[in-house]
Structure formats: structure tokens, C-alpha cells
Amino acid sequence: MIRIAAVIDTFDVGGFELACLELLSRLDPATFSSSIHTFRPGGLVERARSAGIQVTVGHDKPSTDRRWRAADARARLRWTDQLATEMAAVKADLCFVWGWPEAINAAQAAGVPAIVERVDGPALSARVPDKSACTRVVVESDLVRRILLAQRRRFGVDARRVVVVRNGVDLERFDAQGSDRGAARSAYGIPPEAFVVGTLARLSAEKNLGQLIDGFAAALGDSPPLAQRGWLVIAGPDGGSRAALERQAQRSAARDRIVFSGPVEDRAALLGALDVYCTTSYTEGTPAAVLEAMAMGLPIVATPVGALLEMLDGNALIVDVMAPRETALAIAQLAADARLRGRLGARSLALSKGWSMEAHVARYEQVLESAYAEAAAGRA
């Protein structure tokens, strides 16, 4: 049995955190047992505990509180010592680092044999600046692997230790055939005959959702038919930008056609309400929401950032960052051309079959087992 101690900043609803929970809850229980050690609480803590995963929380500051005070900094320092104690208590064999650099020192203090870091996209590549103690560094795209290896002296890594494990999507859960479009739209006050554009994202600056709002409003202004039936749904937890985005939406001509839903429990139901999925981020990794939209057979509008160009192939209209006009044209083109939507959507569905959750978990199991075996052999 390999005992895994996963360390993460917060365990609130978000792509990074959901990926952690999905993976740990699916690892073979005959080979792995897992505990989660999170600095701040969040909406996924109870879900993880319900799945039988032990969770400890190091600080009482909610993840939705964006302020950072001296007391929080002191709590972070204390938690490094607490982490070492917790990992020793669970007799961890492998420390699984999810963007929390202090986990490495804590694991070493606790005598944990193997350390594996998960790097989720270019923006998080330097979150753990010294990776020399890591047995493996797992990235979810070829792009991030190239970024790390281009700076291998800075990070203390070599090509052998940096491995790619592509993200996965639950193809049974995200299945357009099982969705009730009318009910999903009704839940958001949207008429059944509407043309619905949507996104699933943390409402934070890097998601560049202002471009989506402006692009959607411009598309409605340019196309009288779309103005009669177009709707935009923005779903996801507040990452510090919701108030500003709501003000922007209220100032736009499309204010009566924009819905902010907050965090969504049933992501498949929301995606089932859409005609087009949009992501206008400044930076991304391999966003789970885009994979989920592909599995639901949706055409995609996307900016060419992060690993998106490794995911999208004949199923998307690509628009530039900081280009609301391009976003408007893409939305209007898809609204006007049902055949184009159908062709892109069918391609999304076909591509999604290559991103199964089963393959993702199996590859992770191989990497974690090999990391532990190598670390244990080195200590023998």
C-alpha cells in the first residue's frame, strides 16, 4: 500500500482542486490510500470526506476571502511544521504537491521517501521554484514540459523526471444524450428556443471574462436575429472579479441576457443547456471545462493559450486575447450557421474520446508507483 499525502492551498470548487479530488478518489484502493492536507477550507472538503478521504485544514481563512494579512502569513509559516507532523502521523510514503512549495520541506522533515509535484499549466510552473527534491514532476501538456526543461537549471529538474500525464474527462457523466436541455435552460430562466453561449470558470482576472461579455454584447448588436434569442451564462466561483464583471454586464446593452450562476454542482447539466462553449482566458493549463464541453459535443470558441492548441483540432474557432471584436464575430458566425456548429460539435465529441478519465488515472498510477519504487530503492 502506497500512502499518499496530497498538499494543496485551498479545497474550494475549481478546476485544479476538482482534478485533485477526481484523481485521488479514483486511484486503485488496493494499491493507494490518500489523505488531503489543505491550508484553507473550501466547498470540496466535505465531498472528499464523503468519498472516504481524510482531510485536514491548516487555517480558518475561507478561500473566498482575497485579503492577506500578517496573521495569515504567520499561519502559513506555522502550517509548514504542522504539515510535517501530519505526514508523519499518516505514515506518508509519497507527498503529492499541488502548488504548495512548503510541502517539500515538510515532507523532508517527516522523512517521506517520494515527492511528486503536479504542475497545472504555464502560470503555475514556478509556484514551486526548487524542484530538485521531487522524484517526479507531472505536467498535463507537452507545452509545460518544454517550459520546465527550457529552465531546467532554474528549477533543478532533468528530462527523465518531468513526465506528461494528460487530463481526463468522465465520458459517462458528460454525455449530451443524457441531458435535458429544456430543464437546464429553465433553471436559469432561459427560454427553450434561445441560442446560449456559456463558460465554466473561476471568476478571476486571468480568465479574461470581460472580453467574453463585451464580445457577446457586440454580437447581439451586430445581429438582429441573435439579439432576439441570444443568452450568455457565466458559471463558476468568485475568484475576486465577480462584482466587477457584474457591473460590466449591467453597463452593456446585453445586460438582460447575461446570467451569473455562481458555482455549479451539476456541470453536465449546465453544459447541456449551451449551444457554444467559450473560453477567453489570458492563461490556461488543460482546462477540464473545455474537455467537458467537448465530451458534450459543443463547438468551442477559444483563445490560443496554455495547452488549448493541444486539445483543439478542427472543433473550435480561435480568437485572439484582448480581442472582443473577434469573439463577437465567432459567436455571430456560429449562431448563423447551424451546419458549422454541428460539424465542430461532432469533432469535439470525437476528440473527447481520446481524453478518457480511465486512461488518465491509469497513467497516474504508473507514475506514482514508479516514483515511490525509485525513492524507496534509493533509500535501501
pLDDT digits (tens, 9 = 90+) for 82-110: 999 999 999 999 999 999 999 999 999 99
Look at 70-79, 84-93, 133-142, 144-153 and tell me which has the smallest mean pLDDT. Answer: 70-79
Residue 379 C-alpha cell reads as 533509500
155 — pLDDT class (breaks 50, 70, 90):
very high
Q: What residue has cell string 469535439? A: 348
- Beta strand 258-262 with 54-57 is unpaired
Give percent of the chain with pLDDT exceeding 70: 99
What does the pLDDT read at residue 176? 87
**What's the mean pLDDT in 297-317?**
96
**Percent of the residues in the chain that have a pLDDT greater than 90, as a whole number:** 82
Which helix (H) or strand (E) is 40 found in, with range?
Answer: strand 32-40
Q: pLDDT: is 115 or 120 the higher one?
A: 115
Q: Say how far apart CA 312 and CA 294 lie, in whole Å.
A: 9
Q: Report phi then psi at 263, rounded to 5.
A: -60, 145
pLDDT band at 380 (very low <50, low <70, confident <90, very high): low
What are the tens digits of pLDDT across the range 311-343? 999 999 999 999 999 999 999 999 999 999 999
Domain spans, the chain:
2-69+76-168+357-379, 176-354
Name the amino acid, one letter, at 118: R
- Taking all residues of the chain, what is their mean pLDDT, rounded to a whole number? 94
Q: What is the DSSP letter of 98?
A: E
Residue 224: count other Cβ atoms within 10 Å of its Cβ.
Answer: 8
**301 vs 76 pLDDT, higher one:** 301
pLDDT band of residue 38 (cuts 50, 70, 90) is very high
2-69+76-168+357-379 maps to which CATH number?
3.40.50.2000
Asked if 62 and 40 touch (Cβ cutoff 8 Å), the reply is yes
* Buried/exposed 161-176: b ≥16 CB within 10 Å, e otherwise: bbbebbbbbbbeebee
219-258 pLDDT tens trace: 999 888 899 999 999 999 998 899 999 999 999 999 999 9
What is the grid cell recorded at 252? 452593456
* Longest pairwise C-alpha distance within the chain: 73
Q: In terms of DSSP H, where are the helices of the chain?
A: 15-26, 45-50, 70-89, 102-110, 142-150, 152-155, 181-187, 209-222, 224-229, 242-251, 267-272, 288-295, 308-311, 324-336, 338-352, 357-379
Give the DSSP letter of residue 238. Answer: B
Chosen CATH of 176-354 out of 3.40.50.2000, 3.40.50.410, 3.40.50.720, 2.60.120.20: 3.40.50.2000
